Chains A and B, each alone.
Chain A
Amino acid sequence: MINVIVVGNGMVGYKFCEKFISKSGQENYQITVFGEEPRRAYDRVHLSEYFAGKTADDLSLSTTSWYEDNNIILNTSELITDINREQKTIHTHLEKTYEYDYLVLATGSAAFVPPIDGVEKEGVFVYRTIEDLDAIMAYAKKIKANGATEAAVLGGGLLGLEAAKAVRDLGLNPHVVEFAPRLMPRQLDKGASDMLQSKIEELNIGIHLNKATQYIAGEESIKGMMFADDELLNVNMLVISAGIKPRDELGRVSGLEVGVRGGIVVNNKMQTSDPNIFAIGEVALYNQMIYGLVAPGYEMADVAAEQILKGDKTMRDTIDMSTQLKLIGVEVASFGDPFIENEDVTAIVYENKFSGIYKRINVTKDGKTLLGGILVGDSSDYNGLFQIYANAMALPPNPEDLILGSRGGKVSTLGSASDLPDTAVICSCENVTKGAICCSILDGTANTFGDVVKLTKATSGCGGCKPMVADLVKAAQKSIGKEVKESICEHFNYTRQELFDLVKINKYTNYYEVIDHHGNGDGCEICKPVVASIFSSIYNDTANKHITTQDTNDRYLANIQRNGTYSVVPRIAGGEITPEKLIVIGEVAKQFDLYTKITGAQRVDLFGAQLNDLPKIWKVLIDNGFESGHAYGKSLRAVKSCVGNTWCRYGMDDSTTFAIELENRYRGIRSPHKLKGGVSACIRECAEARGKDFGVIAVEGGWNLYICGNGGANPKHAVLLAEQINKETVFKYMDRFLMYYIRTAGPLVRTSTWLEKLDGGLDYLKEVIIHDRIGICETLEAEMEKLVGTFECEWKQVLEKPRLLKRFSHFVNTDEKDDNIAFVPLREQKMPRPW
């Protein structure tokens, strides 16, 4: 095992783990994470929602079991104090030492506290962790109780404005104090800042620009802020949110290269000056910059994970700092270079003081390229503009249309998300492209917006791309004609085929996993057997593994009959049976007083068995070489045969042997409906093969294969799939046909109905399973191959495992049988009393 130690369990440290375990080759690595906070990684971007009522758990990025399930050791409340680079060990404040092969420093940053006299006074806080927020809340409560209402936030940047909202949510009047002459000085120009300021002031939040704070007034606790222009602002609480300071202490004590103004220096592989030590997120100084946004941090996490796993992914040279936010109810966004101004660039500005909207775009003089921009008051164009910028897309003839919107009845100049190239990054937090989103819908791995989110993680970062992802999902769904849904029941908004794929892709193995992830409610008698059948079709799980979700026949491995008794049908492949075995069946029937009948499928049915007797009956049968005939399952029942050329004077081939081979190949395989087959040795068709789901008839030069016939309420003759083929080809086509049916048919849909509903009908089916038109034959064959040869007799399993026997008693609290059952005589045998 190679040890990877991650120091820091914030958003980026967590993302590193998530990326790492999703990559191939990670099995040989052990990840150990250290976090100094007492809790698991949480969403710091949405921290202020904590004030609006979200709990720490709501903000959590994962669950405890997530770490366990992924074999990651998580140590919270443990602080790393030193690194010994020569011995490759780390030392913790609990005096423990751990060895590493690779070390990932994701220690993030702390709030930057400017050196102002009096910042240590009571009532001064930073805005960084849940603990900080708890302390702020407690203090706010205390001062409010004393009648104080005013509080200040130092810093008019992104986080400062967030903090101002939080302070307001606590019922205090916030004052935002900013050293620079404008709000969000790194993102907004003067015009945008003015607009934002007037919007914020409308909400009774004081804005104080150009203010250098000299000292914090008050004795023990804060009473006010004294500014350099001799103005005093009376406040009883101060939240400092004036920027961040990388937590680079570990880099410093261990002699890693650090920047002049802090931060551990990394190259484009996120390696520090020690190649076995990586730094990511807000502690990493890349291109002489600390990136205080989550998206670059996530990308760094991905790069470091790739590098440790010997991949070759590196960090891009230029990192996009575009952001879109809703601050205190005011929409604000900036992208690309918001300020750029020179003779090659024209800034187009739209300002509407009446509705409080300010928009600016920076366009090259030739009007061809969008370089950046700012939106305040209405950022609905952000996604479109950002995509045009990020993909260097062509601009409309009048670039101002981009921000002036649709004038004179024109449709939006931003076009629709569908016009974007596939390479366009839609979710920059998770680096998800348009191609990835649409593809997951088009190839069926995802069916809904929710699926796409689960699969690609798009929208799970800042969430700004949500409308665009929703549009793309809708467009993609539409393009494949997915409007009408044949969902299974009220608990699943999916078709059986969709559920089949969901189970297969996500490797679910129990019903409740499936309903928890993709359904709702408790399930029912419709969806439970469907999912159980899917498990059987994918993994060849026997019914014993899913007792709870099996329909009654599969649950008790016998067919329930009119009076609540069961019938027993051992397998008699191809209808061929030895005299010894015939005698055993007769003996069993006599011993347990069962009614016997030869069925239409060349088997012997034993009726009238009580639940408690089923295991005893099967014990005798299995001891004598029988196995379950699956007469109760939606699975292959029997393959009927005629006498064949071994005895028949007309027979052209050995139909009995072929029928036995077919039956044994597909026995036990679960399908959407029951399946029957037949093999006839000549066109006299004594096996009635063309009345079955598959029928094989011997002809001059080989076998004719017919499919999709059935008896029942709506009898259908099977149709010819292929002529004069050899046995091997019959098996090949059969494998493909059955698997295609199993994968795509609705629940309880017979092969004949399935074919009727299939677009393009038989001709299309031939294209798919004979000519491999959609290139799935190899997959179908491989999937069938997995099922063939893994047959297990379910009754043998039951008899070998006493705990499986428990279900076969009628009462929980006594061994008695059901005394309600009564029989009446019939032609020297018996039958249930009439209803």
Chain B
Amino acid sequence: MEELLSQYETVNLSAVKIWFKAGSIKDFPSNRGGCIKYKNKQIAIFNFERRNEWYACQNACPHKMEMVLSRGMTGSTDGIPKIACPMHKKTFSLVDGSNLNGDDFKIATYPVKIEGNEVFVGFLE
């Protein structure tokens, strides 16, 4: 379990070494998530169409390590875009990955950029 989680670490925009093409915009449903596979990682990508914003985070729920975050519901708390885990409804900030219901678990987030019609996620390697 530990090793599964240790694969996921927040990547800051300035540190991005590789922009991975995740797919085209139309592959991702609007206002909800889609999951992509990159090497051995599962990354959830959210097309927050209502805000005209994109976010990415680890697909694993940090609580029980199940690959489900992309199937959760997007929303906001006090204007912070968030994802609710479909398992136990813990909610996480899509901006910095913090747990909005407490401090026990956190998720890793990744930069997303859109070029033309294509969606790219930033990784360190």
Contact = CB atoms under 8 A, between A and B. Distances in A.
Contact of A528 (B4, B64, B75): B75
A809 to B, nearest CB: 9
B86 A812 contact: no
Given A555-B71, A563-B66, A524 B36 contact: no
Q: How large is the interface on B (under 10, 10 to 19, 20 to 34, 35 or more residues)?
A: 35 or more
Given A552-B72, A564-B68, A812-B22, A547 B87 contact: no
Contacts of B95: none
Q: How large is the interface on A (under 10, 10 to 19, 20 to 34, 35 or more residues)?
A: 20 to 34
Contacts of B65: 820
B25 to A, nearest CB: 11
Nearest to B48: A522
Interface stretch (B11-19, B76-84, B106-114): B76-84
User: Chain B CB within 10 Å — which of A512, A525, A563, A816 has the most?
Assistant: A525
A549 B32 CA distance: 9
A806 B67 CA distance: 18
User: Chain B CB within 10 Å — which of A512, A551, A555, A810 has the most?
Assistant: A810
A589 interface: no
Contact of A812 (B27, B66, B75, B84): B27
Interface in A341-394: none
A549 B29 CA distance: 12
Interface string A514-525: 000000011111
Interface in A202-243: none
Contacts of B76: 491, 521-524
A20 to B, nearest CB: 34
User: Chain B CB within 10 Å — which of A512, A807, A818 has the most?
Assistant: A818
B29 A525 contact: no
B27 A525 contact: no
B77 A524 contact: yes
User: Chain B CB within 10 Å — which of A806, A807, A812 has the most?
Assistant: A812
B75 A525 contact: yes
A820 B29 contact: no
A811 B66 contact: no
Contacts of A818: 42, 67
B105 interface: no
A816 B67 CA distance: 13
B10 interface: no
Contacts of A494: none
B84 to A, nearest CB: 4
Contacts of A563: 66
Contact of A820 (B32, B66, B81, B87): B66
Contacts of B28: 812
A548 interface: yes
A556 B71 contact: yes
A555 B74 CA distance: 13
A490 interface: yes
Contacts of B73: 524-525, 528-529, 549, 551-552
Nearest to A512: B50
Interface in A94-115: none
A386 to B, nearest CB: 42
Interface in A583-618: none
Interface of A: 490-491, 512, 521-525, 528-529, 547-549, 551-552, 555-556, 560, 562-564, 806-807, 810-814, 816, 818, 820-821, 835
25 contacts: A490-B77, A490-B78, A491-B75, A521-B76, A522-B51, A522-B75, A522-B76, A524-B77, A524-B84, A524-B91, A525-B75, A551-B73, A552-B71, A552-B86, A555-B71, A560-B87, A563-B66, A564-B68, A811-B35, A811-B42, A812-B28, A812-B35, A813-B22, A813-B37, A814-B37
